[in-house]
Amino acid sequence: MTESSGMIEQVLHWADTTPSATAMIGARDGSVTYGDLGRQVRAIAGGLLGAGLKPVDGVLFSVRPSVDALVLALGTVAAGGVLVFADPGAGPELFAARVRRANPKWAIAESLLYAASGWSPARSLALRRGLLLPDLAALKVQHIFAGRWLPGVPDGALSVRRLIDAEPIEQPVARWATAPTVIIFTAGTTQMPRAVSHTLPTLTAGLGLLRQRLELGPDDIVHTDQLMLGLPALTSGATWSLPGTPVVPRRFGAQVRKRRVTHAFAVPADMARILDANPSLPKQLRCVLLGAAPVLPALLRRVVAAAPNADVLSVYGMTEAAPIAVVSAQEKLAHSEAGQAGDLLGAPLEGVRARIADDGELVISGPHIAGYLGHPTPTEIATGDLARLDDTGRVVMMGRKKDMIIRGKVNIYPGLYEPLIAAQPGVAEAVMVGVPDPDTGDETVVLAVVPGPQAPADLPERLSRDLPDVLDSYALPDRIVVVSEMPVAGRTRKLDRAALRERLV
């Protein structure tokens, strides 16, 4: 096996050479060996091919993260299929637009989802709980259901159990290097859904970049529900440990301890809750990774204190190119404590190149960059982040283009100031948003802060007094509001600025 081998070939290499080693541990502690993983992936691939799947057929994938889901996903890719993640929870209209854009020929979904989206009693229950799901069974595709049969599963649907009993293939189906392998919808409207299209080479390159920094091996156990962190474990012969979704803080800590986890990943919002329930993390942890959202100094200090023996890292990337840079907690905190502007993201990983456009936007290039469905893969991609490169070539984020606040003739970039505010005594998190002024059309700058454990009762008043010494005068907030927590959205629990803005109007 070489670094240039495809993702599936790398996983099957370990299945053939270390068949008794544990490949994955599920949320409920069930596990699968590499030998069983390899057999099941090959069988699923053989079953799909036997059922008529053609290379580069799109496969709409709606199965919650689990050991079985990963076997299905890897088997689909091994058969030459294209995984399409369109998220039925996005709403019927947007979901329908995304399906039209990707034009899948197949759909794999849990039988429970088919029931909740198409069977009247279950659909009524879902609606009462606020879930407006599209009718998956109405899609004109070949359906495959995971789990036991339930009402709502369409006629003619194939069972995953039937696929797994099929004649296995020996090697993954070859595909063109430029052919899509995974399609992920990240934004866009019902008229113009935006679909990121990763090829097998871009996915494999991204996994290799992260493995450079983590140096994973067969003795390591990686605890995460994120594909782009779990897959490097499988391509390195390590064990992928799944925490379950959503993350339950006390269970997370118990799993890390019981499974002897060496590497753990969490998004910042989840890590804060995990530390609330687990003030100290198990000593065997060698690495704690944070990412998918800005990582503030206050949280970093808590993680370092909870896991003093671990290498605490912050990972920066985007769906179109993950990862881009990795920075240690020590570097990030030193940057903040020195009072330097912006959020330090770290040096670009080897093979990734960064430049700053004329308008200050960070533009990156590298072997892992994905294009958009229907368009050629670009040679570089604009991140949407405003940044600068310091004297050593490290990337420092200065703000988000789309988060810009306009007040008078001044453009204010919150990302430039939020780390400085979050570093103030008594502040755990700080977010600046612009709230429209109905009289002038201008924006009022509102600062929302989550108080830290020892925050004074008069925190807004103290910040009003101290911030003029920290921020540029034109960026000082018009109003300071204390909130118990910041709103988050999506599986990665990213900050939802729109929701915060609505709350503060």
Position 3 scores a pLDDT of 42
- Between 32 and 125, where is the model more confident? 32
Task: Read off the pLDDT of residues 320-346 as tens digits, 9 standing for 90 and up.
Answer: 998 999 999 999 999 988 888 888 999
- Residue 124 scores a pLDDT above 90: no
Q: Rounded to whole angstroms, how far apart are CA atoms 54 and 51?
A: 9
Amino acid at 238: A
Average pLDDT over residues 7-33: 95
- The total number of residues shown for the chain amounts to 505
Position 414 scores a pLDDT of: 87
pLDDT value for 1? 44
- Which pLDDT does position 467 carry in this prediction? 92
Nearest to 242 by CA among 402, 401, 30, 80: 30
DSSP letters, 106-147, are EEEEEHHHHHHHHSHHHHHHHHHTT-----GGGSSSEEEEES
Nearest-angstrom CA–CA distance, 230 and 264: 10
Q: Which domains are delineated in the chain?
A: 7-175 (3.40.50.980), 202-400 (3.40.50.12780), 404-504 (3.30.300.30)
The more confident residue out of 246 and 387 is 387
Torsion angle of C-alpha atoms 211, 194, 71, 230, degrees rounded to 10: 20
Percent of the chain topping pLDDT 70: 93
Q: How far is CA 242 from CA 43, 150, 426, 457, in A?
A: 23, 26, 34, 40
Tens-digit pLDDT profile for residues 466-480:
998 888 788 899 999
**pLDDT-wise least confident of 20-29, 123-132, 164-173:** 123-132
pLDDT-derived band at 270 (thresholds 50, 70, 90) equals confident
| Averaged pLDDT for residues 199-214 | 89
Mean of the pLDDT values across residues 53-59?
Answer: 95
Q: What is the DSSP letter of 278?
A: -
Higher pLDDT, 337 or 43: 43
**48 vs 71: CA distance, rounded Å:** 13
